[in-house]
Chains A and B, each alone.
Chain A
Amino acid sequence: QMQLVESGGGVVQPGGSLRLSCAASGFLFSSRAMHWVRQAPGKGLEWVAFIRYDGSNENYVDSVKGRFTISRDNPRNTLYLQMNSLRVEDTAIYYCAKTGSSYYYDAWGQGTLVTVSS
């Protein structure tokens, strides 16, 4: 059974940093592209970042480029999101998502809440 478990969320001041983790199990992690998707309180879904199965390519939504870095450790079956220079508007639940045969998401974690506030 596929499982994704995020951790690392919390409360941080504007300008601060956080590192999110997503532990994967139940599938061959090293063969799948992975994504981060966020959802601001009471709002819709927003794609944040993507990383290829082997870590050789990444992409980001414009609003986080230069501030967020997605990475992965395939031997540890873990996905990361390093978030620097955090802004109030980054406040959201952050989900990691596994891709299927294409870049739709056939498994999601439960999410981790990031709150950016002074």
Chain B
Amino acid sequence: EIVLTQSPGTLSLSPGERATLSCRASQSVNSNSLAWYQQKLGQAPRLLIYGASSRATGIPDRFSGSGSGTDFTLTISRLEPEDFAVYYCHQYGTSLITFGQGSRLEIK
């Protein structure tokens, strides 16, 4: 099983600032099969990034994904008020699919 460890657990920033969230895998993720989701309270997750760096349909270009192998990053270039939420990484390169534990992005 690939264990995904996200950091930081909580990130406190202000609107307009840049957010950088990390996802580290316990072993290499096949074909960069890594996605990022945003989840707001009481809602289902929403796909942001797949294939490590491809933005999903309708996702603003302030969201970007990067990385390969075992180290992946989600960057939000300029935070908007609606971006404060919990973010999860997800690897789907093996038959045993796993998620990170989540990173909470809160307003400072």
Where the two chains meet, the residues of A that have a C-beta atom closer than 8 Å to any C-beta of B are: 35, 44-47, 50, 59, 61, 95, 100, 102-106, 108-111
The one of B33, B56, B96, B101 in contact with A102, judged by C-beta atoms closer than 8 angstroms, is B33
Number of A-B pairs, beta carbon distance below 8 Å: 55
Tell me if B's interface is mostly helix, strand, loop or mixed. Answer: loop
Q: How far is the CB of A43 from chain B (nearest CB, A)?
A: 9
A105 in contact with B51 given A44-B99, A47-B97 (CB within 8 Å): no
The one of A46, A59, A110 in contact with B99, judged by C-beta atoms closer than 8 angstroms, is A46
Which residues of chain A are near B90, meaning CB under 8 Å?
45, 104-105
User: How does the 8 Å CB contact mask read for B40-54 relative to A, with 1 for contact and 0 for none?
Assistant: 000011110011000
Report the nearest A residue to B56, measured CB to CB: A106
A44 in contact with B46 given A103-B33, A105-B35 (CB within 8 Å): no
A108 in contact with B50 given A46-B99, A103-B92 (CB within 8 Å): no
Do residues B44 and A106 form an inter-chain contact, with CB atoms below 8 A?
no
Which residues of chain B are near A61, meaning CB under 8 Å?
96
Most A C-beta atoms less than 10 A away, residue of B45, B92, B97, B98: B97
